[in-house]
Chain A
Amino acid sequence: DADVTQTPRNRITKTGKRIMLECSQTKGHDRMYWYRQDPGLGLQLIYYSFDVKDINKGEISDGYSVSRQAQAKFSLSLESAIPNQTALYFCATSLGPGELFFGEGSRLTVL
């Protein structure tokens, strides 16, 4: 089993729908992250959490929210999805400030 698991792996939805992407990890890391990747734009940080009680906005948090349910679980929500949120989303974990361990990604399409 993967150390960082994302569900769903693929999702197609319609404009205005609420969407949740889930991430769970078995690495025992305190730090968890949500990134968005668009062709030609690289990885952009949406939200990050350094422990269960800590939530921080990244560079592109507008239109997104997160929940850290436990050390191992970090969910990303789109309250009202819009087409320009169509992207590949990655969850990542880290033990400290450096090396990140990424999940396989969740491909979201908003029609």
Chain B
Amino acid sequence: EDQVTQSPEALRLQEGESSSLNCSYTVSGLRGLFWYRQDPGKGPEFLFTLYSAGEEKEKERLKATLTKKESFLHITAPKPEDSATYLCAVQGPGYSTLTFGKGTMLLVSP
């Protein structure tokens, strides 16, 4: 059974204070690891897909990295508008569906 564990559950940062969110996973044959952002009362919004260890993707202040056991979402010099819940999900072999972690709630204070 695929498993995804995200840490921390919640993170409070000051504006400009860089940090990282962690996503640890167990899956037999990773086909893809996905990061989503979810604002309160909204549906999740896709950010990145990572396919193999060593891969990195960047978008504005966010950078996602992948190893064989975990992924990190690095947030550089965050702004209040980066406040959201960040979800990680994995896809195993075949036509399997995504398994989501419980998310990390990020709050960035001005």
Query: Beta-carbon contacts of B88-105 to A below 8 Å, as 1s and 0s?
Result: 010100011110111100
**Chain B residue nearest to A43 in the complex (CB):** B100
| Contact of B41 with A50 in the complex, beta carbons under 8 Å | no
| Contact of B32 with A98 in the complex, beta carbons under 8 Å | yes
Tell me whether A74 is interfacial, beta carbon within 8 Å: no
Given known A43-B87, A98-B32, contact A104–B95 (CB-CB < 8 A): no
Tell me whether B34 is interfacial, beta carbon within 8 Å: yes
Chain A interface bracket (under 10, 10 to 19, 20 to 34, 35 or more): 20 to 34
Most interface-central of B34, B96, B100 (chain A CB within 10 A):
B100
Q: Please, which residues of chain A bring their CB within 8 A of the CB of B36?
A: 100
The 9 closest A-B pairs by CB, nearest first: A102-B43, A42-B102, A43-B100, A99-B46, A42-B100, A102-B44, A98-B32, A90-B43, A103-B43
